[in-house]
Structure 1
């Protein structure tokens, strides 16, 4: 009996230990909050809104579901069309499409919850529409669409614009009715920071400005586009000496190889962003490349779609199809950092729409997630 009693006690003890081990762990509210925070990214939105609504907004983006929530109006700014963020995330720069144009810099507070303007400088022209920091973040460049020129600023170690700006005015025109004068629409520093490229819609050219001792030398033509193309933006391939250009007026994309020594481009391919049976008005806007360099995306304003292209190893591009943006006038769009989603800013319908991206095919599908925001024109993840 004594041995039997000892067996019973041992059985109860083992059973208790096993049940405790298998009991599901209780999740605290703090852990839930940490998990939610881990799945959320901050999305900054530049707008062309007016009145009390004008300025820069922030949203939370769920990286698991693609949902956008918690809209917040961070700061007022007139026509904050394009935003650029410093690498450390502490500063935000804005090109302001006013007449005359200007460039503003903002800083986050210590907690990263409030954004305050710290400086505002003339863009030395009208309608500043694009802005970018150099790879070393010691230079800041902006493009003036209205007056057709660019401007370069020096930036100190604290990210503040210093000294006198250096403007450069473009000359010329093109055959299209919107090409009566120069219209600089994008500025991009080369990967090594040795050149500043200016994409000019009005003269069908991409100009290369060599940079020496943080100053601009005399420009030369990096690439002459076809008459009436109206180039708007360019992006670089993540690993190759290659880039891609979107033409606003001709509704097309161009691939080209880059000579990093001379700063010149050699055209590879050119394809339309539209279906063959489309016969309406269209004006392309933005262009992005997947992280692996295999798929290219371009926005159509008018057709109101995102064109999806495959990109071959030799730079040839092939239109796979178009996806409706579920809105009107997709001026800007962006891929989530993990490339699982694509978000579109539809200016005329005051909304941002979210699409799931297939990593294997590159194709898009609407998630059903959308959020209302006044005239969104630029999307940047923090």
Structure 2
């Protein structure tokens, strides 16, 4: 389906080889063709998010959290950077009223709540919590905390902090008036499963947690009227023998019918169907002809997705055929050093 809407893609990268940490591309969603239009200097961008009004982009960088104004063409104008009270952030989310940004720290296991000022700039630290290691098991050593994803519940009352180091998802109640986080619940994943990321279904009634080492999607039922409670409903194992596979990213289609998972080492993307109860069934897997598909982006219309192949320094595009159950590579790969994160944005 042809569209007259204008889209751009923002891609954040590690900057050992290229100091321009955010690359901006014009995007044709009907062909998945990318054309670079601009880039901005930023150090080691791990995640990017856009405010709900579409005016500002925020990025995790070495120095903390950076804010940019988005102009009418999708280009970025730097506003400011503020320290987050810990080491470089790994993941990021925003509340819909543009009051706070929440940052998850992989290197130090910290969850930080940052104020956002009325002019879109990054304000000061409202709250910060360091996750604690669980000590040593009698069988094997436990790792230090590593927060790999932060996501708000659909009603934005709770913040879910996924920690692959301690195999937990900590659920914090968010006090927007006081700028505080309060631990309300903990989802305990299987030991050494390394939960990596989390997403909510389109109807908000299910949460999906992707584990890195066991290559599993955990499906949890969630009801807003039950507070911070999550009930495990399904565990979908993507491989009967995981071997050296390691799941990397998880994305849901806009219509709520499909869930896609990128898999490192296997260098593939698995497509899974979502039924009316939120349960998953594997359909097909596509090999992506690159190394370490670190992140995915589903394009408007649902006919294409983009893959960031981090270790082979490229972006590849794939066309989806759900009638015949396959994904087909399209277009020439876009060369880009160590791409980390991607966000598709409609210019308003």
TM-score normalised by length of structure 2 = 0.90
Note if contact 2:51-2:96 (Cα within 8 Å) is conserved in structure 1: no
Distance 1:140 1:195 in 2: 13
Secondary structure in structure 1 of the residue aligned to 2:340: strand
Q: Name the counterpart of 2:290.
A: 327
Residue matched to 1:283: 246
2:133 pairs with one of 172, 180, 193 = 172
Deviation at 1:362, TM superposition (A): 6.2
Which SS does the other structure have where 2:182 is aligned?
coil
Quote the residue 1:13 is aligned against.
none
Query: CA–CA distance in 2 between the matches of 1:325 and 1:149?
Result: 33
User: Which protein is bigger by CA-based radius of gyration?
Assistant: 1
1:48 aligns with 2:38: no
Q: Report the Cα offset of residue 51 of structure 1.
A: 4.6
Q: Secondary structure at the match of 1:314?
A: coil
- How far the C-alpha of 1:278 sits from its partner, in A, is 5.9
**1:227 maps to 2:191:** yes
Equivalent of residue 156 in structure 1, options 117, 122, 133: 117
Task: Provide the C-alpha distance between the structure 2 equivalents of 1:178 and 1:94, rounded to a whole number of angstroms.
Answer: 33
Distance (whole Å) between structure 2 residues aligned to residue 160 and residue 178 of structure 1: 42
Q: Partner of 2:179 in structure 1?
A: 215
Q: Which residue of 1 aligns with 2:101?
A: 140
Deviation digits for residues 186-219 of structure 1 (CA, Å, limit 9, x no counterpart)? 1111111211111111111111111222523420
Note closer, same or farther for the CA distance 1:364–1:147 as it changes in structure 2 (3 Å cut). same
Shift of 1:337: 1.9
- The alpha carbon displacement at 1:335 in A equals 0.2
Q: For 2:204 and 2:103, how far apart are their aligned partners in 1?
A: 25
Q: In the alignment, which of 207, 210, 213 is matched to residue 249 of structure 1?
A: 213
| Structure 1 residue 311 displacement after superposition | 1.7
Give the one of 59, 71, 77 matched to 2:25. 59
Match of 1:19 in 2: none
User: Of the candidates 85, 95, 98, which is equivalent to residue 50 of structure 2?
Assistant: 85
Tell me the equivalent position of 1:4.
none
Query: Which of 1 and 2 has higher RCO (CA within 8 Å, sep 6+)?
Result: 2
User: What 5-or-longer segments of structure 2 have no aligned partner?
Assistant: none
Aligned length: 340
Measure, in 2, the Cα distance between the counterparts of 1:348 and 1:155.
Answer: 34
Structure with higher helix content: 1
Match of 2:160 among 187, 192, 197: 197
Mapped partners of 1:137, 1:300: distance in 2: 33
Provide closer, same or farther for how the CA distance between residues 250 and 178 of structure 1 changes in structure 2, counting only shifts above 3 A. farther
Matching residue of 1:3: none
Q: Which residue is equivalent to 1:6? A: none
Q: Say whether the 8 Å CA contact 2:7–2:344 is kept in structure 1.
A: yes
Q: Work out whether residues 207 and 221 of structure 1, in 8 Å CA contact, stay in contact via their aligned partners in 2.
A: yes
- 1:82-116: CA deviation from partner (whole Å, max 9, x where unpaired): 110112322110112x4xx611111134x445422
